[in-house]
Structures are given as structure tokens and as C-alpha cells.
Chains A and B, each alone.
Chain A
Amino acid sequence: MSDHGHHHDHDHDHDDDQPGAHDAPLSGPALKVKALESLLIDKGLVDPKALDELIDTYETKVGPRNGARVVAKAWVDPAYKKRLLENGGGAIAELGYRGRQGEDIVVLENTPTVHNMVVCTLCSCYPWPVLGLPPVWYKSAPYRSRTVIDPRGVLREFGVDVPESVEVRVWDSTAELRYLVLPERPAGTEHMTEEQLAELVTRDSMIGTGQALTPAGRR
């Protein structure tokens, strides 16, 4: 064990392994990360400030609000929507979102006859520049195993009941293409601005496990 991992019974500063339980001992993985991070720093393989910058980027700068802006723009701007469906990555980059785990984004349009949903059965592929890091359920064995064999059952558990007349398309992200669902614009939103519309676009609606909120359902 490295000299950074010795105080596992009384560490109050950095290791809120269980939020609200600061006196709990560090868990196995917490000890392991602490030791490994110390080793990598001691060896000069990582820069601690770069670690902080990476965390800050994905915790505060990148997230589903990016994707919501893309969707809202597509709802109000038909020319943008056309570009988005023809070249997702290019149109998304117009708003400044690009890069790692989103080098080639394909946008899938939900319509009254087609419902798209996205999964990665082999790992956890997800369009980081527009949605941020994936939620735990998206990376979990239940979602990854069931979505390709029982998409309608999974959708029902998310409260999405897709009529039998609507085709469900499941997109398994096995390559480096990343998929973003363009949800249907809710009824009764004709008067709303692009900024107001973006508030209706949930993360799940862009994965295909939800619909956009209605103005009444807005939280």
C-alpha cells in the first residue's frame, strides 16, 4: 500500500464515499483508486491538475443541456433540422459541441410512426459531447441485455408506451458512431421560444427511453 492510503479510518476531506456518511471507512475501490492515483502521480504519468480539469469538464461543462439546445434548435429551424439529420456531427459542431466520444454523431428522428432508442450492448458507448457521461442504468447489465430483445418492455418500465402501430428501432452502438435521438416536439408548444423548448428536452428523450416533456409536465 502506498503512503497515501494509510488513513482509511479517519479521512474527512476527500473521500465522501457514501455521501452524508463522512466517518465511514473507505470502501475497497476508494482505497484502490487513492493508491493508484498516488502511484501514477509519483511516477509522473499523470498531472494532478489535469485530473481536476477532466473532472470539472465532465461534471460542470458537458451534459444533456448541450443536446437539449440541439434538439430545440432543430424544432424551430427547419434548415438546421435538415442539416442535423444529414450530417449530425457537423450540425452539432455549429453549436460548439464536438470531440471525444462524439466524433461521428448520427441523429435519429422520432416520428408518429417510428420510435428510436439507443443502447450499447458491449460496453457503454454514449454521445458525450451532447449528453455528457451516461447514467448508471444505461451502463448497467439489465439495460444492455434487455433493450435489444425486449425494447417495448424496457420502454414500458420508463413509462413510454409505444403503440403496436409504431415501429421501434433499436440502435446498438457497436462502432464509433454515436447516436442522438431527436424526440418529437410536444403538442401545444407553438408559442414557445427556443430557450423555453430546450427546457422540455430530457436526457432520456434523447436516448429514446423517454418523450420530451409537455408544457404542463415541465418540472
Chain B
Amino acid sequence: MNGVHDMGGMHGLGPVEPEPDEPVFHTEWERRAFAITLAAGFLGEWNIDMSRYSRELMPGPEILTTTYYEHWLWGLEHLLVEKGLATRDEIAGRVKPARPSKPLRVLKAAEVAAAIAKGGAHRVNDDVPARFKVGDRVRTRNINPLGHTRLPRYARDKHGVVDRDHGVHVFPDAHAAGLGQKPQHVYSVRFTMQELWGPDASARDRAYIDLWDDYLEPA
């Protein structure tokens, strides 16, 4: 979706403000927001692409005026309701919480280290042929889906060159919509800054963007 989360190339969003000796979390509520989001994710009721999409669905003006972990909370509440794990009334404290209607696998403290070490399963071993090879010239498609996509607006309808083939991965546009993995190759595609931003951009500099087969056409 063409949401405000897709920020590449926007102007006017302020200066970059690094914080010296920044702590991992700034408040106790950030710690808890981080932990409940990760722990709820381990229930397995949604995947990482659904999780990203849920945060994108937060209204744009709110995204721009709230902090990072507030985005996480918004997305978590959305997913809990969408997947039937909680109701808005329960979240608002208007009714007594009901137990889940089905058995769920809840992450235990002793399982945390192994679960983190295992990581996600975005790489797929399916034998899917690559549509492009390193060195091929490609053009990104001009798509504007209402759903989740990882093709940023600034990189649509642009010419680039396949720099690396990263193998077969889950396709987020399908995965976020619950349409399965639709596994396909992901490539680092190299773009000149002038292709992306016009003749005033640096002639020397390049952007590398990770893109799936479905985003690309031969050029």
C-alpha cells in the first residue's frame, strides 16, 4: 500500500538526531511492548509479513506523530482482533477476558534462546527457477497494490541491474495476505542514483534494493 511507512525519498521529515549512549529501551513500557509483541508472534497465528502489514495499516497521521513501539502496539492489537485472539472490548477492559477458543502453543522462558537462535523461515528450499541472472538488466514494475508490498514507491518503473541472486524466498505480498508463500528468487538490484532521482543526483552513487521476481521485468 502507498502508506506513509514507505518513506524513501520524502522531504521535510526533519533532521536525523542520533542520541549519544542511547539505551536499548527508553522506558519500561517499551520493554514490555517489545516483549509482548515478540511473544505473541511466537503463537504462530500470523507471520512476519502480516506483522509488518498490520503496522502499515495504522492511519498515516498517527504513524507520523507516535513513536516506534506505539506502532508495534497498534499492529499487535490489530492482529489479536483480526485473528480472533482478543476483542476490542477485552482490549479496552470493558469485559472480562475470555480464554482462547482453541489450544495455542505459548512460548516458555526456557524456549526463548532456542526460538531466537532458530530465527524465521523466509528462505525456502523449493526448486524455483530464477527468472534473471546476475548482470541482467531489469525494469521494476509499476504496481500500486492496496495490500502489503516490499517494492518501495521510489523504485517503481525504474531500470536496474541484477547484482546478486539471494536464492528462493517467501513472497511477502502473498504471505501478508494469507495467500501462501509463493516462493521465488530475491535479487539485490543495483540502480544508479540518477535513474532513481534524476540528473541532479550523484553520477557516482548507487542504491541496492532487494527485489523479488514478481517485481521485475526484463529490460
**What residues of chain A have their CB less than 8 Å away from a CB belonging to chain B?**
1-2, 5, 14-19, 26-27, 29-30, 32-37, 39-40, 42-47, 49-55, 57-59, 63, 98-104, 106, 119, 121-124, 132-133, 135-137, 139-149, 151-152, 154, 157-158, 164, 166-177, 204, 209
Is A51's CB under 8 angstroms from B39's CB? yes
* A61, chain B: closest CB distance, angstroms: 9
Is A141's CB under 8 angstroms from B24's CB? no
Contact of A175 with B169 at beta-carbon distance under 8 Å, contacts A47-B39, A51-B39, A98-B117 already known: yes
Is B19's CB under 8 angstroms from A123's CB? no
Does B31 have its Cβ within 8 Å of any Cβ on chain A? yes
* B2, chain A: closest CB distance, angstroms: 12
Is A123's CB under 8 angstroms from B86's CB? no
Interface pairs A-B: 5 shortest CB-CB: A121-B8, A175-B210, A1-B93, A49-B109, A30-B29
Is A100's CB under 8 angstroms from B119's CB? yes
Supply 23 A–B pairs (Cβ within 8 Å), ascending by A: A26-B29, A27-B29, A34-B32, A39-B93, A40-B40, A43-B86, A43-B97, A45-B106, A47-B107, A54-B39, A55-B31, A100-B116, A121-B152, A121-B154, A132-B24, A137-B17, A158-B18, A169-B206, A171-B188, A171-B207, A172-B8, A175-B210, A204-B18
Not counting A142-B14, A145-B7, a sample of 8 additional A-B residue pairs whose C-beta atoms are within 8 angstroms of each other reads A29-B69, A46-B36, A99-B118, A133-B24, A172-B208, A175-B150, A176-B123, A176-B186
Does B77 have its Cβ within 8 Å of any Cβ on chain A? yes
Complex Cα gap A195–B20 (Å)? 23
* A138, chain B: closest CB distance, angstroms: 9
* A12, chain B: closest CB distance, angstroms: 12
Is A35's CB under 8 angstroms from B118's CB? no
Is A168's CB under 8 angstroms from B93's CB? no
Does B159 have its Cβ within 8 Å of any Cβ on chain A? no
* B114, chain A: closest CB distance, angstroms: 9
Is B116's CB under 8 angstroms from A57's CB? yes
Contact of A135 with B13 at beta-carbon distance under 8 Å, contacts A2-B93, A29-B29, A50-B112 already known: no
Does B33 have its Cβ within 8 Å of any Cβ on chain A? yes
Complex Cα gap A176–B201 (Å)? 28
Is B8's CB under 8 angstroms from A5's CB? no
Is B152's CB under 8 angstroms from A172's CB? yes
Report chain B residues within 8 Å CB of A14: 28
Report chain B residues within 8 Å CB of A18: 27
Does B166 have its Cβ within 8 Å of any Cβ on chain A? yes
Complex Cα gap A31–B51 (Å)? 22
Contact of A176 with B122 at beta-carbon distance under 8 Å, contacts A29-B70, A57-B112, A99-B117 already known: yes
Report chain A residues within 8 Å CB of B35: 50-52, 54-55
Report chain A residues within 8 Å CB of B164: 106
